[in-house]
């Protein structure tokens, strides 16, 4: 496949979503996640953020599709905020993906406000929905979730569109994160993908 012709930049959104799904399915680890995930009792979920964005960056750069991917984020939304409930699902996911070379990170986005201040140093309001959580993710390219339902229908949630993703543009989403968090991510990402165009925080 001609990568320049199929990069997805500046195409209509439906075409971009089709290209996105076709590329991430080439990453055998990500594809296996979508094959197995229905074994988990999740009413609503997305595979999101880094593993998807970085698969696209790797594809466009001609790299191995798993280059630089440190974990796979699976997010879901459950108003049962008990730690034990989330931990039970985490243990199920750990067992389900026990053969994976990449860590699976499963989080209930309805609970994030309970631990966010301890982790990042400032409090946040509870997320009212799974989509609202994705809306706050650190960059426009990584604010991205993909879902495959039980009938094999794909759903893409990308609140900032997909042009920055396919353009390899790292633009801060200042909805929630701090400049410090953004800079740390940019520093790590540009080591793996020097082709990235970084939009400075203060632009």
Task: Determine the straight-line distance between the first and last CA of the chain, rounded to whole angstroms.
Answer: 36
- Residue 104 pLDDT > 50: yes
In a domain, 5, yes or no: no
Neighbours of 199 (CB within 10 A): 15
Q: What is the mean pLDDT of residues 10-35?
A: 94
- Domain holding 52, by residue range, is 13-198
Planar angle of CA 169, 174, 177, nearest 5 degrees = 105
In a domain, 4, yes or no: no
In a domain, 103, yes or no: yes
Indicate the burial class of 102 (C-beta count within 10 angstroms; 0-12, 13-18, 19 or more).
Answer: middle
Residues listed for the chain: 203
Q: How many domains does the chain have?
A: 1
Q: Identify the pLDDT of residue 149.
A: 87
In a domain, 123, yes or no: yes
In a domain, 49, yes or no: yes
In a domain, 203, yes or no: no
pLDDT band at 7 (very low <50, low <70, confident <90, very high): confident
CATH of residue 112's domain is 3.30.460.10
CA atoms within 13 A on the CB side of 33: 29
pLDDT band at 3 (very low <50, low <70, confident <90, very high): very low
In a domain, 88, yes or no: yes
In a domain, 1, yes or no: no
């Amino acid at each position: 496949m001609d990568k320049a012709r199929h990069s997805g930049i500046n195409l209509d959104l439906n075409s971009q979503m089709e290209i996105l799904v076709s590329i991430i399915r080439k990453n055998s680890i990500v594809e296996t996640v979508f094959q197995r995930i229905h074994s988990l009792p999740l009413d609503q979920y997305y595979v999101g953020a880094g593993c998807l964005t970085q698969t696209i960056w790797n594809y466009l750069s001609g790299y191995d599709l798993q280059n630089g991917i440190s974990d796979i984020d699976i997010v879901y939304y459950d108003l049962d905020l008990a730690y034990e409930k989330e931990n039970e699902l985490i243990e199920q996911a750990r067992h389900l993906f026990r053969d994976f070379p990449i860590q699976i990170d499963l989080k209930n986005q309805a609970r994030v406000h309970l631990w966010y201040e301890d982790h990042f140093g400032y409090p946040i309001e509870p997320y009212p929905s799974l989509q609202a959580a994705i809306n706050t993710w650190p960059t426009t390219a990584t604010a991205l979730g993909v879902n495959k339902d039980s009938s094999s229908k794909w759903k893409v949630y990308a609140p900032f569109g997909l042009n920055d993703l396919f353009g390899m543009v790292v633009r801060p989403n200042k909805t929630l994160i701090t400049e410090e968090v953004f800079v740390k991510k940019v520093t790590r990402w540009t080591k793996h993908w020097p082709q990235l165009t970084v939009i400075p925080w203060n632009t």
